[in-house]
Amino acid sequence: MIPVGGGAMFTLLGRLTVADGGGRTIAVRAAKQQAVLAVLILRPGEVVTLDRLMAELWQDEPPATAKASVQTYVYRLRRALGPLAADGVTLATVGNGYTLIVPDRAVDVRRFESAVAEGADALTEGEADAAVRSLREALAISRGPLLPEIDVEIVRDERRRLDELHLTARELCVEAELRLGHHNRVIPELERLVEAHPFREASWAMLLRALAGRGRRAEALAAYRRLRHILGSELGIEPADALRRQHQEILQGDGVLVIGYLR
């Protein structure tokens, strides 16, 4: 996991905030200046060309003043971030573009991704306790969708990717808890997951496991009927083979034998 020191911090999950090592907010208020910062920080170490920035900021036809405007936004952004140079933050001009260097530990998105990866690896290695710790840390970092106030293409694409990663982290964390035998603890979380994402069969599979694992066989069978009705009425399909086998095992009173449904 990326260590967190006392340096600068860029918060992107939720509304954009930038703070120095003392926790003081660095003001980046103008909407297009925020968008420039978002594009640069989501392409760490890459040279983002002036043309790319103009295309992100003006999705239709850029105004005649677009080039000068972007240069002004970058100039102001460089001045705003200047106090963070001691923390390894650098905004440099490279040819016809710009690159923003920010240590991974200073960006919540990168710490979130690192914690999810560590949790997934631990789960693969059979270390459920370590997986829960890393994944709970990841979920604590992710305090909201990526930069909801910024509407540019790269942010929209990354927001969708990170929303999916957040959902995967929730499922992996539940899987780890189930392997530790914490069935009752995760049932409410699974109910929330299937309510919010009714076509997510991995969550339904874990809900059946959790209910059956606590002897709540009738509720597990009822949950399967709910899923089958949703899939049939909305998509015209049956549950996946693994779920159907799991349902049969519960019907036969064999417990829940389908392990590792998540892929």
Q: Is 105 helix (H, G, I), strand (E, B) or coil?
A: helix
CATH code linked to domain 9-103 = 1.10.10.10
* Calpha distance 59→8 (Å, rounded): 31
Please, which residues have CB within 8 angstroms of residue 101's CB and are 6 or more apart in sequence? 44, 45, 88, 89, 90, 91, 92
Rounded alpha-carbon distances, angstroms, from residue 190 to 6, 164, 207, 213, 257: 36, 16, 6, 14, 18
Q: Which fold has domain 182-263?
A: 1.25.40
Phi, psi of 17 (to 5 degrees): -140, 145
Amino acid at 236: G
Say what angle helices 31-41 and 66-81 make with each other, to 10 degrees. Answer: 70
Q: Domain-by-domain residue ranges, the chain? A: 9-103, 182-263
| One pLDDT digit (tens) per residue for the chain, 263 residues | 666 656 779 999 988 999 998 889 999 989 999 999 999 999 988 999 999 999 999 988 899 999 999 999 999 999 999 999 999 999 999 999 999 999 999 999 999 999 999 999 999 999 999 999 999 999 999 989 999 999 999 999 999 999 999 999 999 999 999 999 999 999 999 999 999 999 999 999 999 999 999 999 999 999 999 999 999 999 999 999 999 999 999 998 854 444 444 43
- CA 217 centroid distance within chain: 33
Both tokens assigned to 133: 């710790």
Given this chain, do its domains 9-103 and 182-263 carry the same CATH topology? Answer: no
